[in-house]
Amino acid sequence: MLCAVALALAGCSLIPSVTQQATPPASATAAPAQPTPAPSTVPAPGASDRIVFASDRGGNQEIFSMNADGSGLARLTDHPANDYDPDWSPSRHQIAFVSDRTKIPEIYLIGPDGSGLRRITDEPEGAMAPAWSPDGTQIAYVATKGATTLLKVIAVEHGETHALFANPPRIGAPAWSPDGVRIAFSATDPTAGNNREIYLANADQTGGIINLTNNAASDDHPAWSPDGQRIAFDRRSGGQRDIYVMNADGTAQTPLTDDPADDDSPSWARDGLHMVFASNHAGNFEIYTMSDSGTDLIRLTEHPANDQSPRFPPPPPLRTSDEILFSVGSIGGTHNLQVVVLDSGQHSDLTGSLLFDDIAPTWSPDGQHVAFTSDRGNFDIYVMGADGSGLVNLTHNAARDMHPVWSPDSKRIAFESNRGGSWDIYVMGADGSGVPISLTDSPANDGNPTWSPDGEQMIFASNRSGNFDLYLLDVANSGEPVNLTNSPANDVLPAWSPDGKTIAFRSDRNGDNDIYLMSPQGTILQQITNNLADDTTPAWSPDGQRVAFASNRTGLTGGAVMQGAPYDIFVVTISSGAITQITTTPTSEQYPAWRPRR
């Protein structure tokens, strides 16, 4: 590809070693309809997301597990006592549950295959309702003390315990927030007829205890959404128990079920868009799933026994710090991948060879893997763990495969390739399996794909109109791409916002490269950078409030950028326009990628 074309895509002065190989633009998508409170957008549950639950189908309560579609039933415990209240560890290597096999309910651990049984509590009057902390080091539980209960925590490795709260009375059903900072639980409200409410407190015991539900009904079994923004719970009112959801501050309490039967014990799937719960709608308690808006009800179990307390495994821990991944190297030289923690400024190398050019990194939706382009043979797509381990080459092609981007469900990776002669958009399995499928087939150059949060649409850049415009492609239903920008300028490098409402992209429509925002319909909303230097490669923060980008503006003198000026990573806050410089090294940092909070 000619350098003039490459300028529209990545900028010859930005990454010569890449643009010499030709680098095209990318994709976008429309936001899904959102219930109130607003739903999450994280990866969908996969086959490995086994649901654990308690069932008395053997005559007494035992612990069982099954796949998310109800298949693959496995019995994990087999004892004359009752085993119940299971909860997955974050690592998915252990399951905590309650058993009265010593005549007093205590908490035990067991492996997902039923092996490694061990007891971890020794409460003279009983321990119940285990709930793992997000880092897997602690379990919160309810201890009985005479006529009262109190909330306690036990260190899983060493067994030390300490009490958190004894009030309000009759505490039950603890649930850690995904960031490990807060604990939601149910308890009685002595000021309102002793009905049960959902309360919220800091896990470090600072601050007060907040009554989130505060109503005349009876609320129990809180469950946090994976993004920490919502809490599902069950509410008994008018003789029936239904599933509700509310914002984490207690607002927008919204019913998801409305059934004469009892629906209880909700648990979120890691996609944040589905949940599992128990219901006696069919006469006995069975396990059901539904969407987070209360639709798409599916019955998973069908047995005359009672199946209760279902739990999805939790997603990876929710990080509290912001991290940005980028390519770093000299202008005209090779690049490595590096991560910076914004809070501390700490830098970590993920790749470190001076022999290869590692560029255009992108995080998997759960933040546990990185896909990137490298010329370790030819320019191919590679994937590795978040710590740089487990490197795998996904494409092996004589052409150039570049600019990978994960689908929201983590199952696919889209990328641009010139394997067909011109640059087109391709998609493959996230493990590199199968033959890559071409999503575009044009004699022009298509590239820089970006997925919509629902995974059904894509926005990409193409020069099929003569200059580079941004096009919308309906991935789910195919069809011809729609030109969104229709500008005589070059519009490239689109990035879809986490809520699906906004596209960030680079454009030279005002004479130099700046970052703009537009709607998924192509309406220009805002210019968020305005500098004579080259502002490029926008990337959204997980909260959708900021955009990271690369710029050589530190080399701007006398109205022009010095030749060979290095690029640094900057962050712009959309609401205020404030810009913060993140990197300040003499090397060049490009292609920022904001790590998802999990």
**275 and 311 Cβ atoms separated by less than 8 Å:** no
567 within domain boundaries:
yes
Query: Could you tell me the pLDDT band of residue 48, with boundaries at 50, 70 and 90?
Result: low
Same domain, 101 and 175: yes
Q: Is the pLDDT of residue 26 over 50?
A: no
Residue 518: C-alpha distances to residues 96, 318, 531, 539 (Å): 48, 29, 19, 14
Same domain, 143 and 291: yes
Q: Mean pLDDT throughout 281-305?
A: 95
Q: Which distant-in-sequence residues (6+ apart) come within 8 Å of 482 by Cβ?
A: 471, 472, 473
pLDDT confidence of residue 2 = 27
Residue type, 327: S
**328 and 588 Cβ atoms separated by less than 8 Å:** yes
Domain stop point among 278, 311, 344: 311
pLDDT confidence of residue 184 = 98
Q: What is the pTM of this model?
A: 0.70
Torsion angle, alpha carbons of 486, 488, 489, 495, to 10: 10
- 76-82 contact pairs (CB < 8 A, 24+): 76/52, 76/110, 76/112, 76/113, 76/114, 77/110, 77/114, 77/117
Residue 27: C-alpha distances to residues 3, 68, 416, 429, 446 (Å): 22, 31, 10, 18, 9
Task: Look up the domain containing 209 and give its range.
Answer: 52-311
Residue 595: C-alpha distances to residues 220, 323, 339, 364, 503 (Å): 34, 5, 9, 8, 18
Same domain, 252 and 360: no
259 within domain boundaries:
yes
Domain stop point among 289, 311, 333: 311
Same domain, 326 and 457: yes
Same domain, 109 and 248: yes
pLDDT confidence of residue 477 = 85
Q: Is the pLDDT of residue 20 over 80?
A: no
d(C-alpha 520, C-alpha 537), whole Å: 18
**CA-based nearest residue to 243, from 213, 273, 219, 269:** 219
**97 and 77 Cβ atoms separated by less than 8 Å:** yes
46 within domain boundaries:
no
Instruction: Give the number of domains in the chain.
Output: 2
45 within domain boundaries:
no
Query: Could you tell me the pLDDT band of residue 413, with boundaries at 50, 70 and 90?
Result: very high
Q: Mean pLDDT throughout 514-522?
A: 97
Q: Is the pLDDT of residue 14 over 80?
A: no
In terms of pLDDT, which residue wins out, 2 or 113? 113
d(C-alpha 203, C-alpha 214), whole Å: 21
Q: Mean pLDDT throughout 262-274?
A: 93
Q: Mean pLDDT throughout 317-327?
A: 88
Secondary structure letter of residue 25 according to DSSP: B
Same domain, 397 and 482: yes
Q: Which distant-in-sequence residues (6+ apart) come within 8 Å of 182 by Cβ?
A: 176, 200, 201, 202, 203
Same domain, 71 and 109: yes
pLDDT confidence of residue 32 = 28
Q: Mean pLDDT throughout 402-407?
A: 97
Residue pointed to by tokens 């960030």:
504
Q: What is the CATH number of the domain that holds 564?
A: 2.120.10.30
**445 and 417 Cβ atoms separated by less than 8 Å:** no
Same domain, 300 and 324: no
Find the length of the chain. Answer: 598
Q: Is the pLDDT of residue 21 over 50?
A: no
Q: Which of 2-16, 317-331, 533-547 is predicted least confidently?
A: 2-16
pLDDT confidence of residue 67 = 94
38 within domain boundaries:
no
Q: Mean pLDDT throughout 410-436?
A: 94
Encode pLDDT of 181-207 as tens digits.
999 999 998 887 779 999 999 999 999
Same domain, 264 and 330: no
144 within domain boundaries:
yes
Mean pLDDT for the chain overall: 89
296 within domain boundaries:
yes
Greatest extent of the chain over all pairs of C-alpha atoms, in Å: 84
Encode pLDDT of 558-593 as tens digits.
888 888 899 999 999 999 999 999 999 899 999 999
**268 and 229 Cβ atoms separated by less than 8 Å:** no
Q: Mean pLDDT throughout 94-105?
A: 97
Residue 249: C-alpha distances to residues 184, 186, 201, 230, 580 (Å): 11, 15, 11, 8, 30
387 within domain boundaries:
yes
Domain stop point among 311, 331, 361: 311
pLDDT confidence of residue 47 = 38
Burial letters 342-360, b for 16+ CB under 10 A, else e: beeeeeeebbeeeebbbbb
Query: Could you tell me the pLDDT band of residue 147, with boundaries at 50, 70 and 90?
Result: confident
